[in-house]
Amino acid sequence: MSRLMIALFVSAGLAVAGSAAAQVPSAPMSKDSYTAAKNDADAQYKADKAACASLSGNAKDICVAQAKGKDSAAKADAAAAYENTPKAREKARVAHAKANYGVAIEKCDDLAGNPKDVCVKEAKSGLVKGKANAKVDRVAADTSRDAAVMQADSRKEARSDKNDAEYKVAIEKCDALAGPAKDSCVGTAKMQYGKS
């Protein structure tokens, strides 16, 4: 198998791993599954790195960078699934951006002069974009969570306000009565609306 083919296969694996980070898990991963995922990542890294052994020069450097990037991204994805928080998902997306950056920088080593400078700037730009997008998504998730908490608090406050208003109406209706009938009406209103 040619060096180019090996590099393309490893690149495809890294790209597929990158698309998995964008998915948000619906439930957290169990501790056992998390441990298994990390062990799988370690085993895959060893296999990917062994595949690089037959290469030399910059092709080998690219291959090793891809293996390392794939490993760190897989572990970050496992941590994000285990922790199941916006911050953990942000870290996973940053890990993917750093992995892609590491590979891109190694690929730039094949160039010289201005094309290499442009390549390095593009790699750094990709890293900055990846980190920025990860942060925006985390902030959006945090904002959504905060908005949900605020909505719940607002609903609770609204229920309380409605309950107080309905209680006042019930007490006002009791004022039309006198004696034991009024006392009974007030007692019923207090019990119905949770007033002491």
pTM for the whole structure: 0.64
Contact 74, 14 (CB under 8 A): no
Q: What is the DSSP letter of 27?
A: S
Do the domain assignments include residue 51? yes
Residue 38 dihedral angles phi and psi, to the nearest 5°: -65, -40
Q: How many domains does the chain have?
A: 2
Do the domain assignments include residue 129? yes
Task: Give the pair of three-digit tokens for residue 55.
Answer: 């290469």
Q: Which of 69, 52, 68, 65 is nearest to 109 (CA)?
A: 65
Q: pLDDT under 70 in the chain at which residues?
A: 1-26
Reduced to 3 states (helix: H, G, I; strand: E, B; else coil), residue 177 is coil
* Range of the structural domain that residue 163 is part of: 158-192
Separation between Cα atoms, residue 41 and residue 77, nearest integer Å: 10
